[in-house]
Amino acid sequence: MALRTFIEAIRETLAEEMRRDPSVIVLGEDVGKKGGVFLATDGLWAEFGDDRVIDTPLTESLIVGASIGAAVNGLRPVAEIQFADFIFPAFNQILSEASRMRYRSNNGFGVPMTIRAPYGGGVHGALYHSQSVEAFFTHIPGLKVVIPSTPYDAKGLLRSAIRDDDPVLFFEHKKMYRSVRGDVPDTDYTVPLGRAAVTHEGKQITVVAYGLMAHYALEAADVVADEGISVEVVDLRTLRPIDKETLLTSVRKTGKCLVAYEDNRFGGYGAEVSAIVAEEAFDYLDGPVTRIAGPDVPGVPYNHVLEDWFMVNPEKIAAGIRKLAAY
Amino acid sequence: MAVTRKTRSDLAASVGLTDADLIAMYRTVALARAVDERIWILNRAGRIPFVISGQGHEGAQVGLAWPLERKKDWIAPFYRSIATCLAFGMTAQDILMAQYAKASDPSSGGRQMPGHYGNAENNLLSLSSPVATQMLHAVGIALAAKIRRTGQVALTSMGEGSSNQGDVHEGLNFAAIHRLPFILVVENNGYAISVPTSKQLALENVADRAAGYGIPGVIVDGSDVLACYRASKTAVDRARRGDGPTLIEAKVIRLTAHSSDDQQTKYRPEHELAELRTHDALPRFRDELRDAAVLTDEIETGIAAEIKAEVDAATEHAEHEPDPDPSTAMRWVFAEDWPSEMPPAWGLGGHRAAAGGNHGTAGEGHGTADEGHGAAGSEGGGR
C-alpha cells in the first residue's frame, strides 16, 4: 500500500502498463520530454523512447484517428487530449469511427484504444479549460466513458481501460490531480469497467455523482448527517455502460435520488440518470428526482466570483439534499 | 482457360511482371466493371435500394493496388473502391453481398449502406460515410507497422473532393514527419458530387500539395493501368525502405452519376460524358494487351465468359441469402454484451406493457422484426 496523488496513480499505471505490454503506446501533445502539461506522462519518454511516447503536432483529429488505425494494426494506444475542451476536432473520429467500427464491421474490426482527457472546472481555467464534456460522449453507443474519483479507482480503471478491447474515454478531473490522495496497493489489481461503488451508506437519499462531485457528495453527506439526514452516495465511476443495478438498488432502498454533476444542467449526464431512475424505480420514489448541476451558460467564467457562482460545491449539494429530504 | 502460360512479353517485362500477372490485372478491371454494371441494373430493377460505384476508376484502382502484398499490407478504401477491393482479395460475391446487405455480407453483415466495404481477412479496413476519415486510420496503421517493425505498407484512397478535408492535412503532415510507410491515393474524377475541381482547389493538381509536406507528389493517368502500377510500385518500395509516404494523384473519370440518387445531367454536359468514354481504362488496357499479344481472342472470350458466370452466380447467391435477424441487431456494440445497454423490460412486452406508450420507440425497436427492419438501405444520399 502506498499513498498516491491522483496524478501519480495515473502516471504509475501508464508506466506499468507500458512495461507489461509492449503494444501500449502513448501519444498526444507535449506528452514526450515535457511529460504532459499536467505531468501525467512524466518520465515515460525517458523510459520508453520516441517509438512509444509520441509528441504529436497540434492535431486532435489525428491523435484519435491514428490511434484507431494503430489499434486496428496491433497496438493499444493511449491517446492524451491535452484538455477535454479541445477534444471536439476529434469528435468525428470518436463518434463516427472508433465507436462504430466494431458494430459496422459486424465484429470484423475492434478498436482497443484509450483516450485520456483532463476535464472540469474550479481551477481558473475559464470557458476553454474547465469544461465537463462527458454528456456529448455518453450519448454514443459503442464508447465506454470512465470518470474515476480516487487514486485507487484511477489506477484500477485505467488498467481495465487499456486492456479493454473497445474504445474507452477516460476523463480525469484536473482539480483532483494534486488535491486528492489515497492508498493504492502495489498489486496488479483492476477495477472492472461498468461497476459503480457505494462510497457512503445511508437510508434516506441517494446522491449519484462521479469525478470531483463524488468527493463533494461525500462532504455534503457528512454535513447533513449532523442534521439527521442519512445519505447514500453512489460513485458511478463508469458512466457508460452504466451500472444500473447499483444505482437502482440504492434508490429503491432510499426512495429519493439527487444527481450532482458539474456540466451544464440541460441535457447533461444527470438527465439520463434521472430518466433511468424515473423509468425503472418510479414505484419506489418518495420525491422528485433532483439535479444539482452547473448553470446553463456556455462555459465556466474566469473571474473567481463568477467561477464560484458556476461551480457545484458541497454547500450546493447539501442544500439540494435538505430540500429533497423535506419533500 | 488459358492464363497458365509463363511467358513474358516485352510489355510485362517493362513493368517487372509476367503475362499472367497482366491478364489477372485485366481480368480484375473487367470484373469490377461487370460487377458495377450489374449493381446498377439491380438498382433499376428495384432489387437493391442504393448504388454508389466506381466506373471509370477501375483501371487506376487495380494498377495502384497491385504492388501491395495481400494479407500483409493494408488498404483503407473508400466508397468507389470496388476494383481496389477485388484486387486486394474480396470476391464479386463479397461485393454483391454488400449490395444486398444480407446477413452473411462480409463487409458489415448488412449493417452498412452498399459501397461501405471492409474485410478483416484481407486487411481492408471497414469504411464509413464521412469522407477522408480513413486517411488517419491508414496513417495509424502505418505508424503501428513502423513501431512493430512489420514491414507493412498502408494505402488509403479517396476522391479529390475528400482531399480537401482537414484530416488529410493532419495525416500527411504526421506521416511525413515520421516517414511512415504510407501512400495516399487521390482518385481525381473531376467532381465532388456536382462541384467541379475548379471550385474545389486553386491548384491544378492535388498532388502539388505534396510539396507542402516535403513528400513526393506523383500525377498519373488513371486510364493507364500500368502507369498506375509503376507509380504505386515506386511508392510501395519507397515506403518499404523506410523513406516515407507518397501522394499519388490518379486522373480518372466518373462514368456514372455520383450515386443512384443523383441526376448528373443537371450539372454535367452530355458531350463531356461522351468524350470521357474515350479515356476509359478498360478498352485501353485491353487494346494494350492485345497489341502486346498478351491477350488473345481466346483468352479474352474465356475471361468474359468466366466473369459473366461469376457475376451471375454472385447475384444469385446474394439474392437468396437470408436477411439479418433483428435479434442480432444489438450484437457487437462492444466486444461483449452489457446488460445495462439493453432496453428496459417493458419495451419488450414486460409487466407494464399493457399501459402502452412505452412501446416501440426507435431506441427499443430492435425488439420486433418489423421495427428492426426498414431502416437499413432506405437512405439515399451520402457523398
How confident is the model over B107-152, as pLDDT tens digits?
A: 999 999 999 999 999 999 999 999 999 999 999 999 999 999 999 9
Output the pLDDT for position B371: 34
Q: For A122, left (φ over 0), alpha (ψ -120 to 50), or beta?
A: left
Taking alpha carbons only, the member of A88, A46, A93 closest to residue A71 is: A93
B136 → closest Cβ in A57, A66, A77: A66
User: What are the pLDDT digits (tens) for A149-180?
Assistant: 999 999 999 999 999 999 999 999 999 999 99
The DSSP 8-state label assigned to residue B344 in this structure reads P
Sheet with B246-251, side-by-side order of all strands:
B74-76, B154-159, B182-188, B246-251, B217-221
The DSSP-derived string for B220-264 is EETT-HHHHHHHHHHHHHHHHHT---EEEEEE----S-SSTT--G
Q: Where are the domains of chain B?
A: 10-320, 326-372
CB contact under 8 A, B128 and A96: yes
Could you give the residue range(s) of every CATH 3.40.50.970 domain in chain A? 2-184
Q: Which helix (H) or strand (E) holds A119?
A: strand A114-119
* Residue-wise pLDDT tens digits, A63-90: 999 999 999 999 999 999 999 999 999 9
Q: What is the pLDDT of residue A194?
A: 97
For the cut 90, the answer to whether the pLDDT of residue B317 exceeds it is: yes
Residues 285-314 of A with CB under 8 A from B: none
How many Å lie between the alpha carbon of A229 and the closest alpha carbon of chain B? 30
A96 neighbourhood in chain B, CB within 8 Å = 128-130, 133
Q: Return the bridge partners of B158, or none.
A: B186
User: Per CATH, the architecture of A197-325 is what?
Assistant: 3-Layer(aba) Sandwich (3.40)
Residue A5: phi and psi, rounded to 5, are -75, 165
- Which residue type sits at A215? H
Which of B129, B166, B344 faces A280 most closely, judged by CB atoms? B344
Quick one: which of B21, B1, B19 has its CA closest to B10? B19
How would CATH label the architecture of B10-320? 3-Layer(aba) Sandwich (3.40)
Which triple of cell numbers denotes residue B255? 462514368
When CB atoms are compared, the residue of A75, A243, A279 closest to B147 is A75
Instruction: Look at residue B75 and tell me whether its pLDDT is greater than 80.
Output: yes
Which one-letter amino acid corresponds to residue A83?
F
Residues 6+ apart with CB under 8 A from B113: B50, B52, B101, B129, B376, B377, B379, B382
| Average pLDDT of the residues in A23-34 | 98
Which residues of chain A neighbour B344 with C-beta distances below 8 Å? 279-280
A96 and B130 within 8 Å at the Cβ level: the answer is yes
The mean of the pLDDT values for chain B is 90
Closest CA to B225 of B6, B67, B47: B67
CB A65 within 8 A of CB B167: yes
Q: What is the dihedral of CA A39, A40, A41, A43, to 10 degrees?
A: 60
Q: For residue A22, is the peptide bond before it cis, meaning its omega torsion is within 30 degrees of 0?
A: no
> Do B247 and B207 form a contact (C-beta atoms < 8 A)?
yes
SS3 content of chain A, % helix, strand, coil (to 5): 40, 20, 40
Q: Check residue B35 and give its pLDDT.
A: 98
Whether residues B341 and A141 touch (CB distance < 8 A) is answered with yes
Domain spanning A2-184, CATH class: alpha beta
Q: How far apart are CA B289 and CA A298, in angstroms?
A: 65
Consecutive H or E run containing A179: helix A176-179
C-alpha cell at A131: 469544461
Per-residue confidence at B340, pLDDT binned at 50, 70, 90? confident
A93 touches chain B (CB under 8 A): yes
- What pLDDT is recorded for position B322? 98
Sheet of A257-264, strands arranged across: A197-200, A231-235, A205-209, A257-264, A290-294
A129 annotated active-site: yes
Tell if the CB–CB gap between B170 and A61 is shorter than 8 Å.
yes
Residues of each domain in chain A carrying CATH 3.40.50.920: 197-325
Three-class SS state of B164 = helix
- Band the pLDDT of B346: cuts 50, 70, 90: low
